[in-house]
A and B are shown apart, each in its own frame.
Chain A
């Protein structure tokens, strides 16, 4: 790499022992703690899903009672949304944002450590409800009142759920403030806003969404806790309160939360697709503006979850909800245009990225149907909603998260993951998730309600439910392949050495060692576009990166 400039502070030894992790303020170690913990919560919440699918494989109650089943689906949703998808996004952000903008760490490293520990305590407290006599929370991850009030959900389990979510919400707010400050104030010289990598741009918008919406949820949870512990009546009509108030507060957080869970993963595939297409990202600036527009619109769609209450303007929320398809469509167009006529390679990160495109598209197409009030009235609280949500969050976020793991684990650990196991993982997951979630559309359209431990309906529901349960087992087996891959190649250190840049990456994290030193960089390449490492590589080959990027048909935009 030529023309390296700006010597940075020399590296300091890091240490990898348990005490080092317990006391770390290094964004990379904190990021890995987030990712590891998120994966453990994924396995835990996934195990709960397997129990549910085992129960539903045939009609009638097999080995769970209704109360236990209610706890399982509540903690499955809570675990996946609050303690897997969010922290994994925050984990990647922790690890990558300082690296991608050429900074030595985040703006507030100690605060960063506090956010991780608060998140972990929140997760442990929320799940500790299973250890109480009355069991864990059992009112769904949305916590609707009056179901979640002291009358219908007595006992400490729901309170633990509330306290756990308050802690994790506080963690999210502090983390978002940290990311905003980092991106705005710690970019390396030359890293203007329109040279910031898309993943970091997406996390910037996500951080803003978190800062504006998590306090609303946290406040609502505090109000609910006060209702439950002191008998106050924020959500009790008899005391002058309103259950609809909870729904407004929850979904004012809850729908931006969908994009808080999606945008980071949009960012991940936007990083991987150009690298494995051998091209510059098509339409960098439109991608940034599409992200901003999605973030902005996500503020005005919350009550499409409340069409059937009859208390909201269905027209307003239908229009704004459908409008989100426009910037999302821009992103899809750009991803496909980036691949168009590219020199495509298909290692595991690219497979998962393409899987994300296909699966998220299904979730995206079923979304506007739910945004249409007449259809929403028909399929409200049916398996159609479950199918849509899982194509968005599993087909979208989870597949892209795995793309991120395969892409950046070599950078984080210095070890490559095994490609054969990666392919087994990918194909198992693709077949398994489609067996699991696609038939749910038909169950929902025919009226099968969600969140029930038993069902009775047309005869064809029984074999379809069995098929869904078998699909879930296949998903679990494929995840086992991923865990095996991590254990053998990373934890046991048998993976081949990654080198600094195993994929031919574009952004700054590929300009440093794998894993990076404590201060991240000993040197930085000059930053003249959104892909400085690619520019430096071209300069090494005697080609001007700028000139190459501006060639007709390169799909480039101004850096």
Chain B
């Protein structure tokens, strides 16, 4: 867990840092204005990455509960990469091949056809849009019910 956390956290920190630098660098002395568009995009990239970190951190805290060094400070230190990422939640990827693979499925193809119909419907009219929505609902139903069948 530590690796993906650190990956996203560093992305968030980098985006925030470059966003701050860009904010100041974008100052236009003639108009006395900063560039909001680029700053907002960089901030959004940082926030999106940070949101992933927060979600994963919740799982990480649960996984680390009761383990040595499970204090909040210890967890943060590991995320930042200041300590060995080993431990109960680190360096132990899922063992390959122990989980059965999913069976064949036509639903991805049918779903994409439905989405394509909806897209064409937006361009050409409801006579394509409505069948697309019905097909999409059917394909989602088929997809979900197939997931419930034991593999």
Contact = CB atoms under 8 A, between A and B. Distances in A.
Interface in A190-217: 191-193, 208, 212, 216
A24 B101 CA distance: 11
Nearest to A186: B94
B25 A519 contact: no
Nearest to A519: B97
Interface string A242-272: 0011001100100000000000000000000
Nearest to A247: B37
A212 B104 contact: no
Contacts of A519: 97, 101
A488 interface: no
Contacts of A313: 22, 25-28, 35
Given A184-B3, A245-B37, A104 B96 contact: yes
A187 B37 contact: no
A84 B116 CA distance: 20
In this complex, the member of B14, B38, B93 whose beta carbon has the largest number of chain A beta carbons within 10 angstroms is B93
Nearest to B114: A121
A371 interface: no
A156 B122 CA distance: 10
A316 B25 contact: yes
A225 B120 CA distance: 12
A312 interface: yes
Mostly, the B contact residues are helix
Contacts of B111: 114, 117
B116 to A, nearest CB: 4
Given A109-B101, A113-B109, A212-B11, A299 B123 contact: no
Contacts of B116: 121, 124-125, 167
A521 interface: yes
B105 A110 contact: yes
A20 B105 CA distance: 9
B3 A193 contact: yes
Interface residues of A, number: 68
A315 B14 CA distance: 20
B57 interface: no
Contact of B22 (A160, A189, A300): A300
B103 A25 contact: yes
Contacts of B26: 312-313, 316
B78 to A, nearest CB: 14
A22 B93 contact: no
A303 B25 CA distance: 13
Contacts of B68: none
Contacts of A551: none
B54 interface: no
A117 B97 contact: no
Contacts of A116: 108
Interface in A1-58: 6, 8-9, 12, 20, 22-26
A9 B100 contact: yes
Given A109-B101, A121-B112, A303-B38, A229 B122 contact: yes
In this complex, the member of B37, B48, B124 whose beta carbon has the largest number of chain A beta carbons within 10 angstroms is B37
A159 B96 contact: no
Contacts of A62: none
B105 A113 contact: yes
Interface in A132-179: 156, 159-160, 163-164, 166-167
A153 B116 CA distance: 22
A118 interface: yes
Interface string B102-140: 111111110111011001101110000000000000000
Contacts of B115: 118, 121, 167
Contact of A23 (B15, B37, B105): B105
Contacts of B123: 156, 159-160, 163
B106 A23 contact: yes
A226 B119 CA distance: 13
Contacts of B25: 313, 315-316
Contact of A184 (B4, B11, B18): B4
A316 B96 contact: no
Nearest to A12: B101
A121 B94 contact: no
B53 interface: no
A120 B97 contact: no
B122 A225 contact: yes
Nearest to B104: A23
A180 interface: yes
Contacts of A120: 112
A121 B38 contact: no
B101 A125 contact: no
A453 interface: no
B101 A105 contact: yes
A110 B107 contact: yes
Given A229-B122, A521-B97, A208 B11 contact: yes
Contacts of A208: 7, 11
A189 B95 contact: yes
A81 interface: no
A114 B96 contact: no
Contact of B96 (A103, A118, A192, A311): A103
B104 A9 contact: no
Interface string A525-558: 0000000000000000000000000000000000
Nearest to B143: A110
Interface in B1-55: 3-4, 7, 11, 14-15, 18, 21-22, 25-28, 35, 37-38, 41-42, 45, 48-49
Contacts of A160: 120, 123
A305 interface: no
B112 A104 contact: no
A245 B122 CA distance: 24
A384 to B, nearest CB: 26
B22 A186 contact: no
Contacts of B7: 184, 208
A76 interface: no
25 contacts: A8-B96, A23-B104, A23-B106, A25-B104, A102-B96, A111-B108, A117-B109, A117-B111, A159-B122, A167-B112, A167-B115, A184-B7, A184-B93, A185-B93, A186-B93, A186-B96, A187-B94, A245-B37, A252-B38, A252-B41, A296-B14, A296-B18, A299-B15, A311-B35, A316-B25
Given A114-B108, A187-B96, A249-B37, 5 more contacts: A12-B101, A23-B104, A193-B3, A244-B37, A302-B38
